[in-house]
A = this chain, B = another copy of it.
């Protein structure tokens, strides 16, 4: 897997536990798409599950519903402009969205949805169908079937961002983000 090393499935929650903004990728019948989501988080450890909110207005929603699959990738700060772009434009209205974003995709291992190259980490997910949640709340539950990380950013089940450009990000609003800041350990737990 180009640029990524596998992460143990039972540790996949560590990739999202600190609440980073993610890219949601999807594919169906030859069409691929990527959107941004600040509303994604772990739901369970083992088997690992995740939650993500995917609005009905998005093209991603149609692709996820049709394929039953998606990936969540954790973008680095150096991709923040692309994150904002794919989070602000729908492929329904702008068919060159992906090309203009500059994001490069690669094949995943167990789902048809692609991975975003240059991500800090990626989770391959299969939708656990919950029609009431999907219709009423735009809320999707995915079981994580494979997990990957850039070993320079996450290895040995720990994050260790190698540079400011390769730290994860946390979206606020209006094009404004926080970078993930310094790590610290509570006294007695070092």
Contact = CB atoms under 8 A, between A and B. Distances in A.
A38 interface: yes
Interface in A46-78: 49, 51, 53, 77
B183 A172 contact: yes
A117 to B, nearest CB: 20
A174 interface: yes
A173 interface: yes
A94 interface: no
A111 interface: no
A171 to B, nearest CB: 6
A186 B181 contact: no
Given A40-B41, A43-B53, A17 B186 contact: no
28 contacts: A14-B172, A14-B173, A17-B170, A17-B173, A18-B38, A19-B38, A19-B41, A40-B41, A41-B51, A43-B137, A49-B137, A51-B139, A77-B184, A84-B189, A130-B133, A159-B172, A174-B185, A174-B189, A175-B185, A176-B183, A176-B185, A177-B183, A177-B185, A178-B180, A178-B184, A179-B181, A180-B181, A181-B182
